[in-house]
Amino acid sequence: MLTKNAPDLRYSDVTPERLYLRRREFMKMASSAALVATGGLGGFACRAEAQSGQKLEGVRKTSFAVDEALTPFKDITTYNNFYEFGSQKEDPSHNAGSLKPRPWTIKVDGAVAKPGQFEVDEFIKPHALEERIYRLRCVEAWSMVIPWVGIPLGDVIKRFEPTSKARYVEFTTLFSPSQMPGQRYEILPWPYLEGLRLDEAMHPLAILAVGLYGQALPNQDGAPIRLVVPWKYGFKSIKSIVRIRFVEKQPMNTWQVMTPSEYGFYSNVNPEVDHPRWTQATERRIGEFRRRKTLMFNGYADQVASLYAGMDLRKNY
């Protein structure tokens, strides 16, 4: 609970009503996190840092880069949103050591000519690994600049030959409460789901990331494979993907189900559309004290604005 005096409180400090009504689940989860940190849950006491450090070979540099200072590796790997391992930013770095990123299977199905199940390394192998330096901007008004390593999502999609019925792509996170202790509590409707329009997914900026800073993804950052869509808010970048499904109707994403008045399907970075509890006009880059102006589409407007021509971006938030 916040203990500030009322004049010191901002509207962004207010807990959403829906989450307040589920406060007992959060309390249980907090207790679980405390047990993890002290070794009280046995196998879940392993810190996630032990999973990082594997260098990725054959990574090629690309022109996909922003000319901004990189966020330090330590910050990228200790300040995370990954509710499967805890609701606080520091929880995933403490609790994600229980995740086993190998063996790992990805299922591709739905409206495609070539569905199948693939071991993750087999899934990645046909594509060259690329380094892309992208901004990641979270809806809570903080941001990072990360040197991702990944493969173009559009190239992956072409391999499976979507049919004429495929208009959207739905992604699913692993559901394994034994590996992801946060899933033992109904904080969110598990498993985590996310979706893109097919043309968004095919855009050259969208990637499936398998690493950062030249290393394999640490567990807390979404190992072994996650989505990165740099013009959208960070929660759109679903982690630890086990299924990619091609569908005709627009899928619901997890936060859209959880709090539809705050989170929509598109989730584009738009400084002109505030979150109901805080402004999106400015942001704080992790490691800085000053706030900076938020850029439309997170600074990628020249590349992606045409995807939304004629749409009301306040209605389609």
Sheet of 168-173: strands edge to edge?
Answer: 116-119, 105-110, 241-247, 168-173, 193-197
Report the DSSP pairing between strands 168-173 and 241-247. antiparallel
Predicted local confidence at residue 52, as pLDDT: 52
Q: pLDDT category, 14, cuts 50, 70, 90?
A: very low
Alpha-carbon span 196 to 200, nearest angstrom: 6
Q: How far is CA 206 from the centre of its chain?
A: 12
The answer to whether the bond into 224 is cis (omega within 30° of 0) is yes
Give the start-to-end residue ranges of the domains of the chain.
14-308
Is this prediction's pTM over 0.95? no
Exposed / middle / buried, residue 70 (Cβ in 10 Å: 0-12, 13-18, 19+): middle
Region 260-282: mean pLDDT is 95
Q: What is the pLDDT of residues 137-178, one digit of tens each?
A: 999 999 999 999 999 999 999 999 999 999 999 999 999 999
Alpha-carbon span 35 to 210, nearest angstrom: 30
For 14-308, give the CATH class. Answer: alpha beta
Q: What is the pLDDT of residues 195-224, one digit of tens each?
A: 999 999 999 999 999 999 999 999 999 999
